[in-house]
Structure 1
Amino acid sequence: MLFKRRKRADFWERVRMFLWPRRSFWRSAQYFAKRALRLRATPHAIAGGIAAGVFASFTPFLGFHFILAAALAWLIGGNLVASALGTAVGNPLTFPFIWGATLQIGRSILTGGHPGEAAPLHIGRVLRHLDFAKLWEPFLKPMTVGAIPLGLAAAIIAYIVTRWTVITFREQRRRRLLEKARRRAMAETAIATAGE
């Protein structure tokens, strides 16, 4: 293959690349943006898919974000590939902020704006014994409730920005192609006139 690595990446190298890309997060974000812009779908489908992926990233159900994003995209007529790209909003840098915000908002919604003291919980013990019931009430339930308003707000913003960007990108591309075709036609006309 043309762009294949000379030395295959081992497990730890792949983990490191997942947590910290070799060429920075900004370059990865640009790559995802360009992939979304070049999808062959309507602006609504691309924007709907991205919005579904963004919303899914706000839920605390790690490992199910792609499935949830695909289901939401299918429901609203979004693009499935765009929904997968939209889940990139949830990454190791943003998850602590997303989870903290959804937990706080969910607790204040569930308690009516008067968050009480959360009982101390030894998360390691709960995870070791896989006691889902003990993890649901203090963490997952408030995070799920808090994910709905935050995820909806982020998804609406992502939809508006993505739709506008796709329409603008396609209009600029159409103008560039028209200009290129016009110049080519003028050059062919000039060559034909010179040959006479």
Structure 2
Amino acid sequence: MQKEFSRIEKLKRLVRLYYLKVMRINASPHFIAMGVACGVFGGCFPFIPGLPLQTAIAVAAAFCTRSSKIAAAIATWISNPLNWLLFYYIQFKIGSFLLPMDVQFDPAKWAVTDFMEIGWQGVTILIFGGFILGIPLAAISYFFALHFVRRYRKRKALRMLSRRTKL
């Protein structure tokens, strides 16, 4: 029981560490939020073992939008080993609905090691589905990140002000 607790605590600490790294970027809230949106967009693409597709897409989008590359790279972790199968399932359903390709594939019974067995049509479906999924998720994440960055900075300013008035 103790090992599970420590793993959960480690995960919480890791999430908090990256949250604080994004919040402490010395830039405007819009710059950071756009970087997070680019990262979420890139994170919606399928993870291909050995190929940093998600990070490359996120950083390239951050360059194009002139936003935070660090926030973009961190935000790609929206897609992580804990939820890859869910993302693949949603991407495949969206892609196969919109593209007229017939690929026999069940993401619910699939492992990451089987990625290359679906062929290029299957990869195309996953990438297209990730693109379509990434657009609304990026827009939503922009507004969430903007809100959280502004709230974090407001609280930080209030803490600093209260410390100065106590002296």
Please, what TM-score do these two structures have when normalized by structure 2?
A: 0.80
**Structure 1 stretches of 5 or more lacking a match?**
1-20, 185-196
Could you say which structure has the greater relative contact order, defined with CA pairs below 8 angstroms and 6 or more residues apart?
A: 2
How far apart in 2 are the matches of 1:176 and 1:125?
A: 51
Give the C-alpha shift of residue 176 in structure 1.
Answer: 1.5
Q: Which residue is equivalent to 2:42?
A: 56
User: Which structure's CA Rg is the greater one?
Assistant: 1
Q: Alignment partner for residue 84 of structure 1, among 70, 73, 89?
A: 73
Gap change, CA 1:125 and 1:171, over 3 Å in 2: closer
**Structure 2 stretches of 5 or more lacking a match?**
1-6, 106-110
Q: Which residue is equivalent to 1:35?
A: 21
1:44-193 to structure 2, matched below 5 A, reads 44-60=30-46, 62=48, 63-111=52-100, 118-119=103-104, 127=116, 135-137=119-121, 139-184=122-167
How far apart in 2 are the matches of 1:125 and 1:99?
A: 12
Gap change, CA 1:176 and 1:147, over 3 Å in 2: same
Give the C-alpha shift of residue 61 in structure 1.
Answer: 5.0
User: Does residue 14 of structure 2 align to residue 25 of structure 1?
Assistant: no
- Maintained 8 Å contact 1:58/1:99: no
- Maintained 8 Å contact 2:45/2:53: no
Please, what TM-score do these two structures have when normalized by structure 1?
A: 0.69
Give the share of equivalent positions with the same residue, in percent: 24
Q: Which stretches of structure 1, 4 residues or more, deviate above 6 A after TM superposition?
A: 123-126
Q: Alignment RMSD, CA only?
A: 2.7
Gap change, CA 1:173 and 1:146, over 3 Å in 2: same
Select the structure that is richer in helix: 2
Alignment coverage as a number of residue pairs = 154
